[in-house]
Amino acid sequence: MRVAAVQLDVALGEVERNLVACEELAEAAAADGAELVALPEFFTTGAAFVPELADRALPPDGAAGEMLSAVAARLGIHLGGSFLCRDGDGEVRNAFMLAGPDGELLGRHDKDLPTMWENALYVGGDDDGVIDAGRLSIGAAVCWEYMRNTTARRLRGRVDLVMGGSNWWSVPPWPPAAITRRLEVSNARRAAMAPAVFGRYVGAPVVHAANSGPFSCRMPELPLLPYSGHFQGGALIADPEGNVLERRHHSEGSGYVVAEVSAQRVPPAEPVPERYWMHGRGAIPALAWHTERLHGRRWYRRHVRGRPAYAPAAGAAVTA
């Protein structure tokens, strides 16, 4: 099966612009023979601590779902990615949706736990992430879900292909610069490695899309200390043994990678580690996991929960 993973220089909060860009990249990948195309995590908005994102969550049947269905049907492909989705209960979730070649939405997976400042934008889900796609069983995994043994356990031996994306950010160059530079080298290595080796624990190839590009925002718990960095990018396709078939560096910006994979489950190459975090998080991310979770949950209750869903501007070209 020929598959593609999109890398998007995402425009924070610009739903219409990102939808058009994703449609164009999916078209290019399909023209290159891709039968299945993965879009990044938060492909409609990107994610950072940007207050405007509180108003950018789309309804399940809104512009993002419409684009996935319409483009998948027009191109005759499987097309999936995750976005900020405001459900009927007023909560926002990070919802991965997959559309099939006939345009039908085949399934949905809600990311289990928000990562760091993402706690200000959505709440977690509890589904198993296994989507029936006809002749394929597809497992959905999103960003730091590739880091947790619970993700590997719910998909292990159950799926023919893992599909997902990330919005992984860099460690900013705060002083002392010598230390933060070293931390960023480790962080970038971790972002590249976690999805690449995930198939070893599950027994299936991995198609991983990613956001790229520079961005800046406030730090939730330290408003006087601005964040300035980039999304790690790293769209890749890997086989079940963890061999990377194709990868796109974040410096290459928007585009895609495409490769042939055997979309069929195999015996996993490695046991799932007993430890909760399959890979070390690093000092700054480990600290931010706790501090930004506490701040983010309060911010979400005050500013996000119960707001209306976002409706793109009239006449915006956001579907096929």
Class of domain 2-303: alpha beta
pLDDT, tens digit, 9 for 90 and up, residues 145-192: 999 999 999 999 999 999 999 999 999 998 999 999 999 999 999 999
Which residues, listed in sequence order, are joined to residue 132 by a DSSP beta bridge?
137
| Burial classification of residue 218, based on how many CB atoms lie within 10 Å of its CB (0-12 exposed, 13-18 middle, 19 or more buried) | middle
* In the chain, where the domains are located: 2-303
Average pLDDT over residues 105-130: 97
pLDDT score of 317 more than 90: no
Query: Can you give the pLDDT at residue 318?
Result: 43
pLDDT, tens digit, 9 for 90 and up, residues 32-81: 999 999 999 999 999 999 999 999 999 999 999 999 999 999 999 999 99
Average pLDDT over residues 305-310: 96
Would you say how long the chain is, in residues? 320
Q: C-alpha angle with apex 279: 275 to 282, nearest 5 degrees?
A: 115
pLDDT, tens digit, 9 for 90 and up, residues 252-282: 999 999 999 999 999 999 999 999 999 999 8
- Which residues does 17 contact at the CB level (< 8 Å), separation at least 6? 11
pLDDT score of 319 more than 70: no
Query: Can you give the pLDDT at residue 315?
Result: 45
The CB-side HSE value for 229 (13 A sphere, CA atoms) comes to 25
CB-based contact 111:69 (threshold 8 Å): no
CA 88 – CA 277 distance, rounded (Å): 33
Residue type for 27, please?
A: E
Mean pLDDT of the residues in the chain: 95
CA 310 – CA 184 distance, rounded (Å): 34
CB-based contact 214:172 (threshold 8 Å): no
Query: Can you give the pLDDT at residue 284?
Result: 84
CA 288 – CA 187 distance, rounded (Å): 13
Query: pTM, whole model, 2 decimals?
Result: 0.95
Give Cα separations from 16 to 21, 45, 193, 204 (angstroms): 9, 9, 31, 34
